[in-house]
């Protein structure tokens, strides 16, 4: 079954996306490659729109929002190393962002009671209020981006993407293990 032109992503203002370029005239592409490109295209489009809305509405970057989200889930705070692992970025990236947010009064830093080398960061009360406002709108934005999908299709996609995730995890384990 091949994708119909109406199923392909809209090129918008930025020209053809990866999926459209790969689909155009190349009937020999495997379904798995087209699936990968469709997933990548959707994720890129969604991320770009969320970045734009965060910037326009709150003058905030996506990494700043992500860092605040991690800390909101862990009220006791976490070390910079824990933050960088959860966000899958380098310690240097987290350190610079944390320094700016501490200066702005959004985060607070405290030394560990058990390890003088370790520092914990957590949201301040002002940081919690700011994040709560952003998170509420973020949730609405995501719902808006998927508003044209009936609830049954959302559930079906969740099930299918769960299967895809398990397949990828199995493949990674099989590749890493001798």
Query: pLDDT tens for residues 43-53?
Result: 999 999 999 99
Residue 2 lies in a domain: no
Task: List strands edge to edge, sheet with 107-111.
Answer: 78-79, 119-123, 107-111
Residue 153 lies in a domain: no
**Nearest-angstrom CA–CA distance, 6 and 164:** 24
Domain span including residue 70: 60-147
The number of folded domains in the chain is: 2
Domain boundary among 59, 79, 101: 59
Task: Tell whether 88 and 117 lie within a shared domain.
Answer: yes
SS (H, E, C) 40-102: HHHHHHHHHHHHHHHHHHHCCCHHHHHHHHHHHCCCCCEEHHHHHHHHCCCHHHHHHHHHHHH
Task: Tell whether 104 and 50 lie within a shared domain.
Answer: no
Predicted pLDDT at 112 = 82
Task: Tell whether 101 and 55 lie within a shared domain.
Answer: no
Task: Tell whether 87 and 21 lie within a shared domain.
Answer: no
Q: What CATH number should be reported for the domain holding residue 135?
A: 1.10.10.10
State the helix-helix crossing angle for 125-145 and 31-58, rounded to 10 degrees.
Answer: 130
Averaged over successive runs of 10 residues, the pLDDT of the chain (178 residues) comes to 42 52 57 94 97 97 96 93 90 90 96 85 97 97 97 96 95 81
Q: How much is the pTM?
A: 0.76
Q: Which residues pair with residue 66 across a beta bridge?
A: none
Domain boundary among 59, 75, 96: 59
| Residue 69 near residue 75 (C-beta atoms within 8 A) | no
Backbone angles phi, psi at 28, to 5 degrees: -85, 0
pLDDT per residue over 16-37, tens digit each?
Answer: 555 555 555 455 558 999 999 9
């Amino acid at each position: 079954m091949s994708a119909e032109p109406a199923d392909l992503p809209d090129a918008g203002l930025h020209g053809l996306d990866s999926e459209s370029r790969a689909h155009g005239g190349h009937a020999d592409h495997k379904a798995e490659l087209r699936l990968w490109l469709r997933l990548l295209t959707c994720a890129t489009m969604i991320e770009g729109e969320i970045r734009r809305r965060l910037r326009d509405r709150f003058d905030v970057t996506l990494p700043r929002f992500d860092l605040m989200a991690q800390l909101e889930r862990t009220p006791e705070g976490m070390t910079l190393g824990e933050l960088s692992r959860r966000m899958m970025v380098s310690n240097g990236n987290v350190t610079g962002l944390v320094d700016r947010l501490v200066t702005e009064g959004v985060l607070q830093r405290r030394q560990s009671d058990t390890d003088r080398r370790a520092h914990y960061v957590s949201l301040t009360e002002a940081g919690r209020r700011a994040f709560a406002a952003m998170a509420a709108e973020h949730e609405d934005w995501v719902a808006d981006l998927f508003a044209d999908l009936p609830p049954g299709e959302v559930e079906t996609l969740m099930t299918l993407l769960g299967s895809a995730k398990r397949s990828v995890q199995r493949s990674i384990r099989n590749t890493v293990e001798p």
